[in-house]
Structure 1
């Protein structure tokens, strides 16, 4: 990486940049099943679902000195029922020009270090194949594919599968 990258908890000031990154995936890829871009104010409730402590985290990567957001990683609620509280769903989204620079690995390393002292038993990730970079990242961090939902989402005029990956924490 040419510039130094800083990983830190996401804040309210990051909302527009986080939304811009996410909207790229909404508009250009099948990797999220949202189909319309969001204005930042509609993502505020999403941002409020994370905290600097506990199992539900939002970490951002930025270029040191510039404040440019390169991406983010989250560990959010897996399902809403109480028995699922010790499981989290993890995601990484990178700015298009930040892919292939090791930013995803930095984010996941920091996220799993932060979760090490939390009451979290399993982490899950949903990947829309084909997405070799995401699969490679998740496997590097100990995730294994445990299931495949066939043609579960429709976007860009076709059906997409979702592969489920799992990691014991």
Structure 2
């Protein structure tokens, strides 16, 4: 089994736990803890330190694209992985509906299943499930809580270089 490393990041929305191997990020999830548990150690891999820095830049409004290597292979079903890959096409400051994502993966009737896959995404923010909204524009479902989804979308709108029509 590959070694796993953890590092906590104190975001404006609570603690994010970053999980990696020596070379790839496996998870970035909100945890309901009040205190930092995992701090950088001598053996903390560079990929985890880079992820920490990129997440920090994201919350400062200085980063819109993540370049840290990540992996969801081995996590989720083939369908979920297709959905997660499709999520990466939704640009910073933009949104897509669950139906849009279903169409992107050539499975128009899988709208509910897309929602279920979104909920299982453990690479929050990097694989931007928060950018998926209801077809009528409503904020629906988010594993980290709707209030976090709303905050993330407002944050991205504030710093987005894309002009809205």
Q: TM-score normalised by the shorter chain: which range applies?
A: under 0.3
* Bigger fraction of residues in strand: 1
Superposition TM-score, scaled by structure 1 size? 0.27
- Structure 2-normalised TM-score? 0.28
